[in-house]
Structure 1
Amino acid sequence: MAPEDAEPNDRNPWYLLLLIPVVVPMLVFIYNDNEPRLFGFPRFYWLQLALIPLSVLVTLAVYRLTRSPADDTPTETDPTVDELGGE
């Protein structure tokens, strides 16, 4: 089977990291308190806002760890091929 004919592997273990942004906000005991306060905001609010960059970083890490080198090569349907001198 040629690499072009291969099906994408959705069972990559790196995808398990995507459970972090899903599970951590469900752990209510982490932020179920008023103290400590950050700039006057109770823990619930600033921790919820802190989870946004965490989710972005985890998603970015999984994307970078799971993309294949073939994703970086331009194809004929890619509009940037003409700019690079392709036909």
Structure 2
Amino acid sequence: MAPPKKSASGIRWSPWNLLLLVPLLLLITPYFNRSGPELIGMPFFYWFQLAGVAVGVICTSVVFAMTKDEPTTPAPGPAGDVDDLDEGAAR
């Protein structure tokens, strides 16, 4: 297995992240700004949004499951000390 690439920014990239665009595309209102077809008496506008929530949860869960084991690169520079990170110490 090849060692992970060193990244100066510490941002992780995975092709699985593209799946997170699906819930964003569901937010484009002209796609679903109509009343028909109805589902159980509910206009399309409402049941499409409800279905979009489920699709968003599924997409986010899949991306999390597929990327959780990828290694991360630590931030460059020395590790912060508790006293350096304490915001109250500067007051």
* Residue 14 (structure 1) aligns with: 16
Counterparts in 2 of 1:69 and 1:22: CA distance versus 1, 3 Å:
closer
Classify the secondary structure of the residue corresponding to 1:25. Answer: coil
* Residue 77 (structure 2) aligns with: none
* Residue 47 (structure 1) aligns with: 48
* Residue 61 (structure 1) aligns with: 62
- Which structure's relative contact order is higher, taking Cα pairs within 8 Å and 6+ residues apart? 2
Q: TM-score w.r.t. structure 2 length?
A: 0.61
Gaps of 5+ in 2: 72-91
Aligned residues: 65
Q: Which runs of 4+ in 1 moved over 2 A?
A: 6-9
More displaced, 31-40 or 52-61? 31-40
Classify the secondary structure of the residue corresponding to 1:29. Answer: helix
Gaps of 5+ in 1: 71-87
Identity %: 35
Correspondence 1:25 to 2:23: no
Distance 2:11 2:66 in 1: 13
Comparing both structures, which one devotes a greater share of its residues to helix?
1
